[in-house]
Amino acid sequence: MPFNVAYFIAQKTSQTENGTFSSTATKVASISVAIGIAILIISFAILGGFQKTIKNKAYSLSGHVVVSRFSLNNSVELPPIPGENEFIKNYKSYDGIDHLQKFALKGGILKTEEEVQGIVLKGVDDNYDWNRFKVNMIAGEAPDYSGEEDSKEVVISKRLLDLMKLSLNDTVMVFFIQDPVRFRKLIIKGVYETGLEDFDDKVVLGDLALVQNLNNWTAGQIGGYEIFLNDLENIDQIQATINDNTPAGQYADKTSDKYRQIFDWMGLIDMNVWILLVITLFVAGVNMIAPSLLLMMERTQMIGMLKALGARQRLIIRIFTIRLLKIVVKGLVIGNLIALGLCYLQYEFKLIPLDPVNYYMSYVPIDWNWKAFILVNLLTFVLIGIIILLPAYIISRVKPVNAIRFD
């Protein structure tokens, strides 16, 4: 019953504020909350988009975990390991492991009439998951490596393509420095772009059989294998399981450790967003105090009359808390509509471009993380709700006689 009375009085007071100075103040307060929540939602959407896009790119290149032979050699090439063992045969029986694909690396020199560029030929077989890699493909198609003969078709980065002044379906000469020196004419079947310099500057995807032939390996020898997981939350545990079940001399390394600089950069961005969250909530809360006090001062005589009629302090606090929370809710609704609308426009039409060299992508990405959006709204509502209790408590302490005489 007291809540119904408080809500009724709060509703009536809000209807009689039109045209008053407090009406303008409440609009300013709602706008302040709207701007604050819009900034927070957009920030979380963009941050999530950055993290998701960059992680997907990194994982699409190397899997979540890479197993290779332990070596102190700093060469880009990996020493051979057997392409079959008990773990590889039964990898699907391990919880959390989704896919396994073999690879080998070979250093070479890409040469045209005008340019020379060092590359790393990454050999993959017909079990390579091109569906995961297709997020990076911008032209052409994935080669078919299921034939008995080693294929000469390769996928090259757009950066190398532009640097060497090549085009899709061109034939290019690649020299491999060994004794004796070997060369192969390779056909550019596809073009990719990740935005990750370490990959785009040098990696060319080719046939695993080609690398095996160049290295004088048998068909059963590989450089390593990449493992994709179903659940990244348990990646440390799965990594330990892989290390426990692979042959001696082999080790499992996380891709997040391989690209440590990128993942540390994302962690720094994450921290900045949480700092922005604290600052924005603080500013929005402070901006609510002044309109709250102004609104209550205009209702000082009403407070005195209610107290003279026997209203308790709790009822008065409840009246103004309801009134102020309505202002907050209005601001939240407006802010959410603005933020989600802007996010939708960017998600659909890619209106804001980025420099791939600096940001690893060509446009600002958006991630629809509804859990984060709901959490931000709840946190904003609760914290601002707590802040506005202070002026409500202060004004409720006014004595009835002084309040009735107040003008």
Task: Tell whether the model's pLDDT for residue 289 goes beyond 80.
Answer: no
Task: Tell whether the model's pLDDT for residue 309 goes beyond 90.
Answer: no
pLDDT score of 12: 62
CA dihedral 130, 132, 136, 141 (to 10 degrees): 20
Dihedral sign computed on CA atoms, order 145, 148, 150, 153: negative
pLDDT score of 358: 81
**64 located within any domain:** no
Task: Tell whether the model's pLDDT for residue 209 goes beyond 90.
Answer: yes
Last residue of a domain, one of 226, 248, 270: 248
Task: Tell whether the model's pLDDT for residue 46 goes beyond 90.
Answer: yes
Task: Tell whether the model's pLDDT for residue 361 goes beyond 80.
Answer: yes
pLDDT score of 89: 95
If asked whether residues 104 and 42 sit together in one domain, one would say: no
If asked whether residues 287 and 397 sit together in one domain, one would say: yes
pLDDT score of 398: 63
In terms of Cα–Cα distance, which of 21, 4, 6 is closest to 396?
A: 6
In terms of Cα–Cα distance, which of 389, 383, 398 is closest to 318?
A: 389
If asked whether residues 102 and 11 sit together in one domain, one would say: no
- Among 52-56, 73-77, 88-92, 371-375, where is mean pLDDT lowest? 73-77
Task: Tell whether the model's pLDDT for residue 393 goes beyond 90.
Answer: no
Task: Tell whether the model's pLDDT for residue 310 goes beyond 60.
Answer: yes
If asked whether residues 385 and 271 sit together in one domain, one would say: yes
If asked whether residues 324 and 399 sit together in one domain, one would say: yes
Amino acid at 216: N
**109 located within any domain:** yes
Last residue of a domain, one of 194, 225, 248: 248
Q: Give the mean pLDDT of 300-307.
A: 72
If asked whether residues 76 and 223 sit together in one domain, one would say: yes
If asked whether residues 232 and 321 sit together in one domain, one would say: no
* Gap between the Cα atoms of 280 and 38, Å rounded: 10
**35 located within any domain:** yes
pLDDT 10s digits, 169-191: 999 999 998 888 999 999 999 99
CA dihedral 132, 135, 140, 145 (to 10 degrees): -10
pLDDT score of 227: 98
Amino acid at 126: D
Task: Tell whether the model's pLDDT for residue 312 goes beyond 70.
Answer: yes
Last residue of a domain, one of 188, 217, 248: 248
If asked whether residues 202 and 321 sit together in one domain, one would say: no
* Contact (Cβ atoms closer than 8 angstroms) between residue 332 and residue 381: yes
pLDDT score of 156: 98
Beta strands 116-124 and 171-176, pairing class: unpaired
pLDDT score of 159: 94
pLDDT 10s digits, 210-259: 999 999 999 999 999 999 999 899 999 999 999 999 999 999 999 999 88
pLDDT 10s digits, 95-134: 999 999 999 999 999 999 889 999 999 999 999 999 999 9
pLDDT score of 252: 96
pLDDT score of 244: 96
If asked whether residues 300 and 208 sit together in one domain, one would say: no
**180 located within any domain:** yes
Model confidence band, residue 1 (pLDDT cutoffs 50, 70, 90): very low
Question: What domain range is 325 assigned to?
Answer: 2-58+262-405
Number of domains within the chain: 2
**240 located within any domain:** yes
**327 located within any domain:** yes
Task: Tell whether the model's pLDDT for residue 305 goes beyond 90.
Answer: no
What proportion of the chain, given as a percentage, has pLDDT over 90? 58
If asked whether residues 267 and 394 sit together in one domain, one would say: yes
- H, E, C per residue of the chain: CHHHHHHHHHHHHHHCCCCCHHHHHHHHHHHHHHHHHHHHHHHHHHHHHHHHHHHHHHHHHHCCEEEEECCCCCCCCCCCEECCCHHHHCHHHCCCEEEEEEEEEEEEEEECCCCEEEEEEEEECCCCCHHHHHHHEEEECCCCCCCCCCCCEEEEEHHHHHHCCCCCCCEEEEEECCCCCEEEEEEEEEEECCCCHHHHCCEEEEEHHHHHHHCCCCCCEECEEEEEECCHHHHHHHHHHHHHHCCCCEEEEEHHHHCHHHHHHHHHHHHHHHHHHHHHHHHHHHHHHHHHHHHHHHCHHHHHHHHHCCCCHHHHHHHHHHHHHHHHHHHHHHHHHHHHHHHHHHHHHCCCECCHHHHCCCECCCCCCHHHHHHHHHHHHHHHHHHHHHHHHHHHCCCHHHHHHCC
If asked whether residues 237 and 314 sit together in one domain, one would say: no
Q: Give the mean pLDDT of 6-16.
A: 65
**225 located within any domain:** yes
Dihedral sign computed on CA atoms, order 164, 168, 170, 176: positive
If asked whether residues 90 and 225 sit together in one domain, one would say: yes
**257 located within any domain:** no
